A and B are shown apart, each in its own frame.
Chain A
Amino acid sequence: MELTRDLMLDQESRMLVRSVAEFREQVIDGSAREMDEFPSSGVIEKAWKSAASLGLVSALLGEGSGGQGMDIYSFCLALTEVARGCAGFAALLLVHNLALWALEAASQEADEALTGGEARVTMAWPVKEAGGTARAEFVPGLTGAAACVLPLAGGGLCRVAPGCEGVTIEGIEAPMGLRASRPASLVVESAGGAVVGDLNGKRDELEGCLLLGIAALSLGLARHAFEGAREYARERYQAGDYIINHQQIRLMLAGMVVGIEAGDASLRQAATAGGCALHLPASRAAKVLACDRAVSATLDGIQVHGGYGYMRDYGMEVLLRDAKYCQSYPRSPQEEMLDLVKPAD
């Protein structure tokens, strides 16, 4: 059974997905568990270099700035494919690309080390500002990053480097999910002094891209859960039959398909609507929907596997842990939804 999104891909997108799938199979799949359990072992850096050779670390950056100039939907297709192997690594690609994009939007020259894969940059979102201090609770990619950009509420873009005065990074010990992204918390004192430019009205677009990227990660997790559960259900014999022949199991698998189809459609619609102001609400909706369906799919993926699904060896439980983090990053789904319907003045 082929999912609708895959049937609708044009030739170019199909080639993109195929090449990223090859990268995932060759570089990510065999290392995913190590990325989750021992992200500081060097396994991330090794994969990062391979991703750079494929152009994934500068995908969103304009061609004039040395990037690939990829549109957001294509980038999301790539992220989904990477997330099927490791959502944490896909999150690293997402925040790195968004940081480069933000720097470009703020008229900053691209740094070759960052676009070439020698170093990583990340983006803090949302940034809470109080009394000149900027704070971000959960910043994927912050551990080991060469720099971090902070889009401020007024449109300014702040850039800081770890180790600089007034910059405090607190590692998050053993977060439940997205471990491969090596997240940390960030506090920047006198953030105003580190502003390097202005996003020039592209802050909403940046937020929309972040939300769509997380939706893409979630859909990758949901796809992995569905494929793994379907394969297992075809092999596992219980109650006198292969469990895929039990209605309850088929309904669980079908629920995953419904969720992936709805998530794909919603993501595609939001990503291809065009116009930053227009697509932010659609991006919020797509993000909330995709993440909710991914949590549901990964829960059912474990359930179909029974006891095996709960054990690390079978690679299902990590999908749930990652999906749960996608659901609540950068904000809770309720907060995203409340921004969809504004209160009366």
Chain B
Amino acid sequence: MPEGDPLLKDVRKRVLGDFPALQEIRRRRPLYVEKLVKTVRDCAEYNQRYAAPAALELDWRMEQDHDYFAWDLVKAGLQYRFLSLAIPGMVEGVGGLTVMFALAMEEMCSTCAGIANIFGAHALGISPLLVSGALAQWETVLREVARKEKEGEPVLMAAAITEPSAGTDAEEPHFLAKARLSMNASKVPGGYVLNGRKCFISNGSVATYTMVACALDRERPLETWTSFLVHRDMEGFSVPRVEEKMGQRACPAAELLFEDCFVPDENVLGFEGDGMQPGTLLILAASRAPVAAIGTGIARGAYEWFLRWARRGKGGRAPIDEQRVQMALADMKTRVSLARWAYFNAALSFDATLGKVLSGVPMKAIGLLPRSVRTSEGMQRVYLSRAAKRGVEGIVAAYITSEEVTKALANSSLAKAVGGDTAMYVSSMALEMMGADQGEERVWVEKFFRDAKLTQIYEGTNQLNRLTVFMSDVDDSLRVELKPFIGRGPGKGAK
């Protein structure tokens, strides 16, 4: 980055203006805030150089050929380390937490949510490894992602939770207990055999590694919901179909098929039965704020293109001279700001939990071990041992409380519903106001409108997000259950 980088200056001014809370944080943690600003700056540059020139044509191309995937745009993101943003520093990642990723998502989605979601879905695929404290996979898989990124080779990840008959059900413990599932895993010597289908999996057709959550016993899905790490080359794994979507086309949504797919024991993330409680709930507490930022970014993009339209008069008076347009712009701006503050607050509250764990003494101590030790086969065996896994769970439970992380889940769910609704409202209002006017502005706003609808559906529908707010923050019927080191059963502690 050149000295006196004007883009950095512009972005710093904008970010500090858009997030007033960062000004206070900056006084205490200037380097942290500067790292956030630098990340947003990189996203802005990526938008200018790569995403904006490609977005419309790519959207059009993928409508015709939905199997196409823009690897060139992924490779262009490697120089900015977009694939490592969420990977801990101890395994060569950037070490950004939810706030950083959410800011990145808003910036990228203000140009193209489809392209941005390739990186977003990748981070979602990383999150199960983070929240389960799967140190063995940190050293192997996450280090591989970060290292190959530096070498110019993208390794993508994905998370597979939704099943054809279970969308909402797979994201909420009370519902999962009653779900009619079609996929399951069976224990066999040395590992598990997976059978069934997952659907609508973002990055599913292009990911090297996919976290797959499914039940061991479909009659007791909540108690046996377990997370597995599946490599695309594993026998029995295939991608029979890539969906044709209304929007966010650059990021493929795929159906995944598992036919007697053998997954070794060491690819279980955490313990059997931890997949939903706390696994999926921790993932959602982490991921819904960045998804809220996706909605916010789409809304911002629609607003910015609408503003361009409003300022462009086709001879005579420009639309912005009309009071109705001025009021609409003010309304849009207000809603974008409120959505932004909601996701920022949610991301802060999650980082206050996971951040404490990552900056805690035990994790720092592990990080201080020489890399040769941490990556040794012996250490891998230690990481994969039951005692080590329970130790990691114990560290998590010692540093954060169920109340804190449940509150983070409520905040992120609230923010996600607000972000999705804001994306729809702003893009819809913009199109409505533009009437039948054609032109470049309209083409962009139409794309934002199509992209926006998905933000009300994925990562739990907005209806489920609201139910989560009710259950976790109003009647206390939903808690994220952390597993203390002492006092839990032998790996089947889901409630």
Contact = CB atoms under 8 A, between A and B. Distances in A.
Contacts of B174: 239
Interface in A231-260: 237-240, 248
Given A176-B446, A240-B175, A307-B458, A331 B431 contact: no
B247 to A, nearest CB: 8
B463 A248 contact: yes
A334 B432 contact: yes
B461 A306 contact: yes
Contacts of B162: 307
B301 to A, nearest CB: 15
Contacts of B178: 239-240
B436 A176 contact: no
Contacts of A303: 456-457, 461-463
B406 to A, nearest CB: 20
Interface string B181-213: 000000000000000000110000000000000
A312 B242 CA distance: 12
A259 to B, nearest CB: 16
B246 A239 contact: no
A185 to B, nearest CB: 6
Contacts of B463: 248, 303
Contacts of B243: 311, 313
Contacts of A338: 324
Contacts of A238: 166-169, 175, 179
B287 to A, nearest CB: 16
Interface in A288-306: 295, 299, 302-303, 306
A327 B435 CA distance: 8
Nearest to A128: B314
Given A174-B63, A302-B453, A324 B435 contact: no
A331 B432 CA distance: 9
A137 B437 contact: yes
B180 interface: yes
Contact of A334 (B324, B449, B457): B324
A306 B168 contact: yes
Q: Is the interface of B mostly helix, strand, loop or mixed?
A: mixed
Contacts of B166: 238
A62 interface: no
Interface string A154-189: 000000000000000000111110000000010000
A239 B173 CA distance: 10
A328 interface: yes
A23 interface: no
Contacts of B179: 238
A91 to B, nearest CB: 12
A139 B432 CA distance: 17
A337 to B, nearest CB: 9
A329 B175 contact: no
Given A299-B424, A307-B199, A321 B450 contact: yes
Contacts of A175: 446
Interface string A301-327: 011001101111100010011001001
Nearest to A335: B435
27 contacts: A137-B438, A138-B438, A175-B446, A176-B449, A176-B450, A237-B165, A239-B169, A239-B172, A239-B175, A295-B428, A299-B453, A303-B456, A307-B458, A310-B245, A310-B454, A311-B246, A312-B244, A312-B246, A313-B243, A324-B428, A328-B434, A328-B436, A329-B436, A332-B433, A333-B432, A334-B432, A334-B433
Given A302-B457, A317-B453, 15 more contacts: A138-B438, A176-B446, A185-B438, A237-B165, A238-B166, A303-B462, A303-B463, A307-B253, A311-B243, A311-B253, A327-B432, A328-B435, A332-B435, A333-B432, A334-B432
